[in-house]
């Protein structure tokens, strides 16, 4: 009876309990019910050689269980290749033999995944959710990243002919999934020079027909991504009917409260800053549609909808400073598009910044170049053996503390970072600005050590964009500058120089004009992969939603 109560109250734990009591008289019934609900768990337990596995294998009149057992007991350990197709295997629309014929060919296997995804998406649009749909999408995401995007990202310094050779055989639909399922990982140039134009060419430049073939699967993610890469206007311009494009953007911001989780809301939030900068008329339409959905939710007493649309409306309004929206007052979050200088000063009126350097072979050169950025108006104190201090001699008091890139082979760089952190803490010098200078594999260390008081965080390292969530967990109010590609000194140095000038002048950091000035100061390739804080609206949307609703598990 205890097992039955557990199954009713905590169904995901039931298989673990059945492993302890495989001879329970109702074990077969629980296996049948929970196997359909949690096929991944059934697969895992069927792989073992124990009494529960034998009991699972003994059920021979349930097509789903029989199919999963066949995958799990495959002597070639290839179950991971089969599981994404589970529903179609059960329905005898796909066979193990068909999968075996393509599983070792990256393009053919990806094609089978995409065709199955399109099949499942069409069924989902009709209210029929395939078993294992999430597992299929997860596998598709993994293959898109590993077999295609990792390759074209890695060849970013090669000619386009060499770089994009691996994606030439892919269809428009396959290229669509390569793009949307690697959002945040695919380099700007990989998208704008390779995946997107090839996709549109293979779709005969008919974006509306492409989305219809895909049953609009992941369309919000696609539109948000296209906006971020400044391709949304181009994409909507390929629609044969302009009203269809307008209707799509209306749907884009509608019924977000019906979506599972907040991913669709995040996509809408992330898209707005780019749309506001490049397509003001569309931005105005989005703002009006968000307002209409807020009113609809309020009149229908839908509290989730009210929360979602209230946050989006306030976020979008704040893009225009003339609206005078105080996000701290309205949503309990700091301003999105600016950092007031007053918020960066400590009790003594001084701005404290901390820079993390690492002692690999590149570290010393980068360190010396960083120090050379500070000439007239700054004085460098080199008296400490583990760190230096750069103090302003003109304007507002600003102190920049940077550990020396001492040899990593002996752990001296780590000791210097820890010593500097202790010194700052003991002297109540709380950094408002944190800068990471080092390769991506050091970035997690910077996040671990950085002060929670940080208001501006610069992660100019390869893949830094993926650390945004970790940083926000450490520093709730941080404005984050990150790179999706390799951090480049020719881009980083102008940023530090401009930021330092603004701080010394005591000016608020207004990100939109700041980013325009930053762009004018650098001509190095890769600038487009640096993401300004105001384009991280999705993360801010989630934070505001949690504060407004009190929900933590979203």
CB crowding 303-329: b at 16 or more within 10 Å, else e: ebbbbbbbbbbbbbbbbeeeeebebee
DSSP 450: S
Nearest of 54, 65, 534 to residue 339 by alpha carbon = 534
SS3 28: helix
Rounded CA separation 54/64 (Å) = 16
pLDDT at site 552: 58
8 Å CB contact between 405 and 424 = no
Residue ranges of alpha helices (H) inside 392-532 are 412-426, 443-449, 468-474, 489-504, 511-521
Rounded CA separation 402/9 (Å) = 53
Rounded CA separation 112/60 (Å) = 28
How long, in residues, is the chain? Answer: 554
Count the alpha carbons within 13 Å of 312 in the hemisphere toward its beta carbon.
33
Residue ranges of alpha helices (H) inside 126-194 are 133-143, 150-154, 160-163, 172-180, 188-189
Please give the model's pTM, rounded to 2 decimal places: 0.78
Residue 107 burial class via C-beta count within 10 angstroms: exposed 0-12, middle 13-18, buried 19 and up: middle
Nearest of 1, 6, 53, 50 to residue 31 by alpha carbon = 53
Nearest of 267, 246, 257 to residue 296 by alpha carbon = 257
pLDDT tens-place values along the chain, 554 residues long: 577 777 778 888 888 888 888 888 888 888 888 888 888 888 889 888 898 898 999 998 888 888 888 888 877 766 778 888 989 988 889 888 899 899 999 999 999 999 999 999 999 998 898 888 988 999 999 999 999 999 998 898 899 999 999 999 999 999 999 999 998 788 888 999 999 999 999 999 999 999 999 999 999 999 999 998 889 999 999 999 999 999 999 999 999 999 888 889 989 998 998 899 889 999 999 999 999 999 999 999 999 999 999 999 999 998 887 888 888 888 888 888 899 999 999 999 999 999 999 998 778 888 988 998 898 999 999 999 999 999 999 999 999 999 999 998 899 999 999 999 999 999 999 999 999 987 777 888 999 999 999 999 998 665 545 567 788 888 878 899 887 666 677 888 899 999 999 999 999 999 999 999 999 998 877 788 788 888 878 878 888 898 888 775 55
pLDDT at site 459: 85
Cα separations in angstroms, 447 against 356, 433, 437, 513, 524: 10, 13, 12, 28, 27
Rounded CA separation 141/5 (Å) = 37
pLDDT at site 499: 96
Can you read off the two tokens belonging to residue 228? 């971020």
Residues 6+ apart with CB under 8 A from 479: 334, 339, 455, 456, 457, 509, 511, 533
Count the alpha carbons within 13 Å of 388 in the hemisphere toward its beta carbon.
18
pLDDT at site 43: 87
8 Å CB contact between 202 and 160 = no
Rounded CA separation 256/263 (Å) = 9
SS3 462: coil
């Amino acid at each position: 009876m205890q097992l039955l109560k557990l199954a009713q109250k905590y169904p995901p734990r039931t298989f673990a309990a059945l492993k302890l009591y495989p001879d329970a008289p109702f074990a077969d019934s629980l296996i049948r019910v929970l196997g359909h609900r949690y096929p991944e768990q059934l697969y895992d337990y069927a792989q073992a050689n124990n009494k529960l596995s034998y009991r699972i294998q003994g059920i021979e009149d349930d097509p789903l269980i029989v199919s999963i057992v066949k995958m799990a007991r495959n002597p070639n350990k290839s179950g991971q290749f089969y599981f994404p197709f589970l529903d179609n295997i059960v329905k005898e629309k796909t066979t193990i033999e068909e999968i075996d014929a393509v599983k070792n060919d990256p393009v053919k296997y990806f094609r089978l995944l995409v065709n199955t995804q399109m099949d499942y998406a069409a069924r989902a649009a009709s209210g029929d959710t395939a078993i294992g749909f999430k597992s299929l999408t997860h596998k598709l995401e993994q293959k898109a990243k590993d077999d295609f995007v990792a390759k074209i990202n890695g060849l970013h310094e090669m000619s386009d002919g060499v770089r994009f050779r691996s994606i030439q055989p892919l269809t428009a639909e396959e290229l669509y999934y390569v793009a949307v399922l690697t959002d945040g990982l695919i380099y700007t140039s990989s998208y704008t020079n390779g995946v997107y134009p090839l996709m549109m060419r293979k779709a005969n430049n008919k974006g509306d027909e492409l989305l219809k073939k895909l049953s609009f699967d992941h369309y919000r993610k696609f539109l948000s991504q296209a906006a971020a890469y400044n391709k949304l206007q181009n994409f909507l311009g390929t629609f044969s009917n302009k009203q269809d494009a307008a209707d799509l953007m209306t749907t884009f911001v509608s019924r977000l409260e019906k979506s599972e989780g907040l991913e669709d809301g995040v996509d809408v939030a992330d898209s707005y800053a780019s749309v506001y900068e490049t397509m003001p008329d569309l931005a105005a339409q989005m703002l009006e549609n968000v307002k209409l959905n807020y009113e609809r939710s309020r009149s229908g007493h839908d509290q989730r909808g009210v929360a979602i649309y209230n946050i989006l409306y306030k976020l979008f309004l704040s893009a225009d400073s003339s609206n005078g929206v105080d996000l701290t007052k309205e949503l309990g979050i700091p301003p999105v598009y600016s950092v007031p200088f007053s918020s960066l000063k400590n009790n003594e009126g001084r701005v404290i910044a901390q820079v993390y350097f690492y002692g690999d072979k590149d570290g010393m050169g980068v360190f010396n170049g960083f120090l050379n950025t500070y000439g007239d108006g700054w004085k460098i104190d080199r008296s400490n053996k583990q760190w230096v201090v750069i103090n302003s001699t003109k304007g507002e008091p600003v102190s920049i503390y940077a550990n020396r890139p001492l040899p990593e082979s002996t752990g001296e760089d780590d000791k210097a970072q820890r010593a500097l952190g202790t010194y700052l803490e003991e002297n109540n010098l709380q950094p408002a600005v944190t800068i990471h200078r080092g390769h991506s594999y050091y970035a997690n260390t910077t996040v671990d050590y950085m002060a929670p008081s940080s208001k501006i965080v610069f992660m100019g390292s390869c893949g830094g964009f993926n650390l945004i969530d970790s940083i926000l967990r450490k520093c709730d109010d941080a404005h984050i500058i990150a790179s999706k590609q390799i951090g480049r000194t020719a881009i980083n140095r102008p940023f530090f120089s401009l930021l330092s000038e603004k701080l010394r002048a005591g000016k608020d950091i207004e990100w939109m004009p700041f980013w325009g000035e930053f762009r004018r100061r650098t001509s190095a390739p890769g600038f487009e992969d640096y993401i300004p804080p105001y384009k991280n609206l999705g993360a801010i949307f989630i934070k505001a939603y949690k504060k407004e609703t009190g929900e933590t598990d979203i």
